[in-house]
Structure 1
C-alpha cells in the first residue's frame, strides 16, 4: 500500500487507494497519503495558494467525498495510532494547508496534546526537521501545540536550514518564527542573525507592526545582532519615516533598542514631541504607550545624559508597572521567592524587608532591605523616612534624579539593597544571560543607587536540594 500511494500520479488515485482498501490501510499509511496529496497539489498548474483561493492548496480537495472519508478515518482511528503517526499526520495536514479549525487538525492536536508527556524527541523533531514550504511553516508555527512546546532537535535543525531559506520566506512566516524564538527565549545566534539580515534587507518594505515583531527577539534575548552596526541606523531611518503610523509599534521598537543600550536620538525627538503625544492621548492604547514613554524617559535620564532634546511632559508620567509582572505571578508556584522569603523571615524578621515593592520608574523588586555600615539589616522603623525609597504611588511628583539624591543622602549610614531572585524564566534558554527587560531593570536600579544582590535559580536549586540533573 505504501508503494501504491507513493507512485500515485493524481489526487484521485491517492484517495481511491486509501478509501477503497480500508482493510489494507494502517496508521502509518495516512500521513503518507496526506504528504502525497500535498506534493501532487504543489505540482498542479494554477494560481498559488492565497491568490483567489483563500483555502490554499487543500481547498481543491476539501469538497471531494473521498477526502472526507480519508479525514474521518484518521479522526476515528487516531486514538490507536502510534505517536510518530499522530505527529506525522499533524505535520502533513499543516503542509497540505488544512486550516487550524478543521476537525482533522483539531482532533490531531488534541490527541498530540494528551500524549506530550509520552512523546520523545524522535516523535516530534524528526518530522518538524524536514524543510517545508512557506505555507507549511506558517501552519506549523501557528499551531498552538507546537508554539507552546520547545523541540530541541527541531531548533538545532532550524538553525541549519533557516539561513538558507530566509530569502524565500514571507515577512509573516519570519514574524511567526521570531515569535517562537522569543517565546522560548532561544539565544541561538544563527537564528537571531538570520532574522536580523532579513530585517536589514526588507525593512523598508515592512510596516512598523511587522518590524516590532522581528526586533523583539533581540531585546528579549539581550542580543545585539552581528550586523547591528548597519541594522540599527537602518531601523532609526525607518522609524523617522513611520513613527506616527503606529505609535504603539514605534515605542515597542524603541524599547527593544533601549534594552540593548542603543538610543536613537532623532526618533526620541519625534516621540517626545507635542504632536506625537497628542496623537497618543486620543488613541485607545493611550495608557500602555504612556507607560512605555515614561520608562523611555527614565532611561534617557539615567543612561543617555548627553541627550538634549524634548522630554516627556511630567503630566503624562506614570509607572511602567504597578505590581509584579504577569509572567512572575503566573509562575509564582515555580519561583524560589517563597524559599527566599522564608529564609528572610527566619534570619531578619518580616519587619526588616519589603517584598514585591514597586520602585520608580515602575520596577517591581523581589526583596528590599536597608543595611547600615556595620552590615546590620535594619528594621524599616529605624530607616529615616527621607532615606527610604520614594513611594511608587506618586511617580509624577519626583524626578528620578531627585530619587537618587533622596536614596543617597545618607548613603554613608544606610544602603538600600535589592535581593533579585532570578528564576529560570528570567534567563535565556540554557544560558546564564538575563533577558533584556531584566537586564535593563538591573542597570537602572544600580544607577538609582540600589545595591543589587543576584540570587540565580541555579544556586537556589542547590540550597533547596532539587538541583537539576
Structure 2
C-alpha cells in the first residue's frame, strides 16, 4: 500500500518516470527508495530540505509531530500541505505556496487555543510565520472583546515559547517579523515594562534610525507605536519624515490609507504636515478605484479628522466609487462614510439611489446608530427619499426601545423638516408618544424640544407634553448653566405655543410666558420658517426702500397679534404694484 501511495503522489512530477519508478521499487529496498525520492523532491518541496538554523520552541508540547513512515512532517489531523494536487506546476514558488496555505489555515481558526495547538504541531516556524501566528492570537482575542490576553493563554507553553523566541532573538528577526510581532502586541494591553515589548520597541527604534525599512514596514510600525506610546514620540516623527522622502508611486493603496491613519493620530500637528497631505490628497485620486470598502471608510474618516476641506475632488471621487461598495460596508463603515459626506456637504444622486435600496432591504437589521445617521444625512442634504423614510418609520415602530434619545431626535427631525408623513404615521407617532411618556426624564431638554417641534411641523401636535415644556422647571432645565435660553430654543418654544393657540383651541393648559416668546423666527444658524421667494422679496424690499427712504424703516417676518407671520407690509406691496404699473406703461402694455 505504501508503494502504491508513493507512485500516486509522484505521478505529476516532470522528472519522474513511472517505468523507472517501478524498476526502482523492484530492485531496491523500501528505505533506499524513500531516500532516493526525497533527494529528488528537495528542489521542489523546501520542507524536505535540511532546516536552516532557527530557534526552536523550548516546550514539550511544541514537539508533537505526526510523521508517515518517519518522514514528511505535518500537523496531526491536518491535510498534508505538500501533496501533488496542491501545486500548479514547477513555475510556481513552493515556499510562497506553503506560506499561503499556512495563513489560509491560520485564518480559519477562531480561537487562540486552536491557533496554539496548530503551531505547536508544526516544525520550527520561520520568524515571519511565527509572527503571523502571534498576530492571529491577538486578533482573535481582540475580536472577542478582550483588552488583554487571558491568563490561560499567557500560561500556555507554546505561547510562552513564542514570546521567549521574539524576546531573545529580536536583533535577528526580519523586518517583517519584527513589525508584525509589534503590531500584534499593540492590539491588546501589554505591560509597558514587559521585556518582550521593550526589546521589540528598542530594536524597531534602532532600525528606523539606521534607515532602510520598506514603506509597508514603516506604516505598520508607525501605527503600532501610536497605539503603544501615543502620537508624541520622536520615533514616530522620524517615521513620518522617512515616509515623506519616499515616492508615493511606490505606495500600495493600503499603505496610503495607513499613512492617512498615522497623520490622523497626529491631527494637532496637521499644519506642519499640510504640504505633504496635499501631495497625498492629489495622489490618492489615482488609487480610489482600488480601495476596499474598509479602506475607503478609513480614508474618509481621516479626511474628516484632518479637516481636509480643500480635498473636495478626492471626496467627490470617493463618493462616486462608494456607490458600488454600499452593500459591502459594515454598519460602522457605512456610518462613517455618511458622517464624512455630511461633514463635507457631499451629495450624489447615484449614492442616494444605492442607499435607498440598501436601507429598504436591510433596515430591520441595521444598527440604530446607522439608521439615525442615514436620517441625519437626508435631513442635512434635504433629501426626501420616501423608500428610506418609510423603512425607517417601520423599523422604529418595531424596535423603538433600541434607540437612544439622541437617535430618536435625529430620526424624527427630518420628517418635520421635509414635511413628510409615512404610511404608518399613526403607529409611528403613537409609538413615539408612548416612548416619551415612559422615558420623559431621560431625554435632555433640548433634544426633547427638537422632537416635539418636529412633530408640530407635520401637524402631529404634542398637546400632552405642552404643559410640561411650558413649565418653569423645564425652562430652567433648558437654560442650564447659561445666562439665558438660546434663541433657537426660544423660537421653537414660540412656534409650539402658537401651534397650541391656532391649531389646538381645545388646549387649556399652561401657556408660555411672554418673556420666552420671540418676535421673529430668524436665528443666527438657521430659520425655522420656509424661505420666501427671493425674487419676490427683492422686489418688495426695493419698493419699500423707495417709498420709505431707508431699509431701517421696515422689517420682514414679523409676528402679528394674531400669531401669523407677515413677510412685508401692505404699503410695500402697494408700492411694488405701482412700480410694476409704471414699467408696464413704459412698455406700452
TM-score, length-normalised on structure 2?
0.46
- Evaluate the alpha carbon distance shift between residue 88 and residue 9 of structure 1 in structure 2; reply closer, same or farther with a 3 A threshold: farther
Separation in 2 of the partners of 1:364 and 1:78? 54
Partner of 1:262: helix, strand, or coil? coil
Pair 1:359-2:558 in alignment? yes
Separation in 1 of the partners of 2:474 and 2:497? 14
What are structure 1's unaligned runs of at least 5 residues?
A: 15-39, 54-58, 380-469
- Evaluate the alpha carbon distance shift between residue 111 and residue 305 of structure 1 in structure 2; reply closer, same or farther with a 3 A threshold: closer
Instruction: Work out whether residues 61 and 67 of structure 1, in 8 Å CA contact, stay in contact via their aligned partners in 2.
Output: no
Partner of 2:370: 173
Instruction: Work out whether residues 100 and 143 of structure 1, in 8 Å CA contact, stay in contact via their aligned partners in 2.
Output: yes
Instruction: Work out whether residues 209 and 249 of structure 1, in 8 Å CA contact, stay in contact via their aligned partners in 2.
Output: yes
Partner of 1:368: helix, strand, or coil? coil
**How much has 1:244 moved relative to structure 2?**
3.2
Structure 1 moving runs of 4+ over 6 Å? 61-65, 104-108, 352-355, 361-366
Separation in 2 of the partners of 1:87 and 1:62? 30
Separation in 2 of the partners of 1:154 and 1:227? 26
Partner of 1:268: 466
Separation in 2 of the partners of 1:8 and 1:295? 67
Partner of 1:83: 285
Matches within 5 A, 1:66-465: 66=216, 68-69=218-219, 73=251, 74=256, 78=280, 81=283, 83=285, 85-86=287-288, 89=291, 91-95=293-297, 100-101=301-302, 112-115=311-314, 119=317, 123-143=320-340, 147-245=344-442, 246-284=444-482, 287-288=485-486, 289-314=489-514, 316-319=515-518, 321=520, 323=522, 326-327=525-526, 337=534, 340-341=537-538, 345=542, 349-351=546-548, 357-360=556-559, 367-370=567-570, 376-377=574-575
- Evaluate the alpha carbon distance shift between residue 163 and residue 62 of structure 1 in structure 2; reply closer, same or farther with a 3 A threshold: farther
Separation in 2 of the partners of 1:248 and 1:107? 30
Instruction: Work out whether residues 175 and 213 of structure 1, in 8 Å CA contact, stay in contact via their aligned partners in 2.
Output: yes
**How much has 1:139 moved relative to structure 2?**
2.1
Q: Deviations over 1:25-74 (max 9, x none)?
A: xxxxxxxxxxxxxxx99xx6445487649xxxxx8698898464379532
Separation in 1 of the partners of 2:103 and 2:554? 67
- Evaluate the alpha carbon distance shift between residue 87 and residue 278 of structure 1 in structure 2; reply closer, same or farther with a 3 A threshold: same
Partner of 1:140: helix, strand, or coil? helix
Larger Rg: 2
Separation in 2 of the partners of 1:98 and 1:61? 24
Higher relative contact order, structure no. (Cα contacts within 8 Å, ≥ 6 residues apart) = 1
Partner of 1:129: helix, strand, or coil? helix
Query: Please, what is the CA RMSD of the aligned residues?
Result: 4.8
Instruction: Work out whether residues 327 and 358 of structure 2, in 8 Å CA contact, stay in contact via their aligned partners in 1.
Output: no
Separation in 1 of the partners of 2:520 and 2:146? 44
Q: Deviations over 1:101-153 (max 9, x none)?
A: 5xx88689668424567x497x4344443431112112212225775100111
Partner of 1:248: helix, strand, or coil? helix
Separation in 1 of the partners of 2:338 and 2:402? 23
Instruction: Work out whether residues 134 and 170 of structure 1, in 8 Å CA contact, stay in contact via their aligned partners in 2.
Output: yes
Instruction: Work out whether residues 342 and 377 of structure 2, in 8 Å CA contact, stay in contact via their aligned partners in 1.
Output: no
**How much has 1:238 moved relative to structure 2?**
1.4
What are structure 2's unaligned runs of at least 5 residues?
A: 1-95, 108-134, 149-182, 188-199, 205-215, 224-242, 244-250, 260-275, 578-589
Separation in 1 of the partners of 2:144 and 2:555? 51
Instruction: Work out whether residues 87 and 112 of structure 1, in 8 Å CA contact, stay in contact via their aligned partners in 2.
Output: no
**How much has 1:255 moved relative to structure 2?**
0.2
**How much has 1:368 moved relative to structure 2?**
0.7
**How much has 1:204 moved relative to structure 2?**
2.6
**How much has 1:254 moved relative to structure 2?**
0.4
TM-score, length-normalised on structure 1?
0.57
Greater fraction strand: 1
- Evaluate the alpha carbon distance shift between residue 86 and residue 336 of structure 1 in structure 2; reply closer, same or farther with a 3 A threshold: farther
Partner of 1:394: none
Partner of 2:485: helix, strand, or coil? helix
Separation in 2 of the partners of 1:211 and 1:115? 33
Q: What is the number of residues matched between the two proteins?
A: 332
